[in-house]
Chain A
């Protein structure tokens, strides 16, 4: 059974810092891995999608990497801003299902 864990559970940093959020999964037989952002009381917004054959994806200040063999993914946020404050979730997709991690609650203060 696939299990997805995210570390840290919460993070509070000053504006401008570069951040690394971690995601680990137990079953490397995945189709893809997706990072989401969730603002309080809102739905999930897709940030980056990495296919199993890819090593990384970039979008603006965000960079996500995938190491399938070790069951790990990282989300790198460059030059963090207060607007980045949200919960970040990673999710891995097997044959059909998308299993979510527990999330990292990020707060970036001015």
Chain B
């Protein structure tokens, strides 16, 4: 398996623009997580899905952030409009809670810079 795949790896945009980050989880995994990492706050859980359904979005900072998972193999995290304080590395991770071990596998991350 190719692992969790995220795109783009790097994104530089101007304040006010829409940003869309994409994630393809490991095939067969039923949980998908979006995290944000900054120097100040470390790794923060933004939202997670179980079987494509959003379970907890309490970590989403503002209404400017939205996430979708239209099917088991694809998820997006959208920021509209983007602001400089959104600059961070955004990670997607997937796992299979039951059966296997619940081990979490991370993608390489999308580094976002908002100017």
Q: Does B18 have its Cβ within 8 Å of any Cβ on chain A?
A: no
Q: Is the interface of B mostly helix, strand, loop or mixed?
A: strand
Q: Is the interface of A mostly helix, strand, loop or mixed?
A: strand
CA distance A98 to B35 in the complex (A): 10
**B33 touching A98 by the CB < 8 A rule?**
yes
- Within 8 Å by CB of A34, from B35, B97, B104, lies B104
Q: Inside 8 A of A42's CB, which chain B residues have their CB?
A: 108-109
**A31 touching B42 by the CB < 8 A rule?**
no
Within 8 A of A (CB), among B59-115: 91, 93, 95, 97, 101-109
**B104 touching A46 by the CB < 8 A rule?**
yes
Q: Inside 8 A of A102's CB, which chain B residues have their CB?
A: 42
**B106 touching A43 by the CB < 8 A rule?**
yes
- Within 8 Å by CB of B109, from A31, A34, A43, A51, lies A43
Q: Inside 8 A of A46's CB, which chain B residues have their CB?
A: 103-106
Interface residue total, chain B, C-beta cutoff 8 A: 23
**B103 touching A44 by the CB < 8 A rule?**
no
- Within 8 Å by CB of B102, from A43, A45, A93, A99, lies A93
CA distance A36 to B91 in the complex (A): 14
**B55 touching A103 by the CB < 8 A rule?**
no
Given contacts A96-B55, A100-B42, A103-B42, 9 further A-B contacts (CB under 8 A): A31-B97, A32-B101, A43-B108, A44-B106, A51-B102, A89-B43, A97-B56, A100-B35, A102-B42
> Which B residues fall within an 8 A CB radius of A?
31, 33, 35, 42-43, 45, 48, 50, 55-56, 91, 93, 95, 97, 101-109
Closest 10 CB pairs of A and B: A100-B43, A44-B106, A43-B108, A43-B106, A49-B103, A43-B109, A32-B102, A49-B101, A98-B104, A102-B42
Pick 10 A–B contacts, CB within 8 A, sort by A: A43-B106, A46-B104, A46-B105, A51-B102, A96-B48, A96-B50, A96-B55, A96-B97, A100-B42, A100-B43
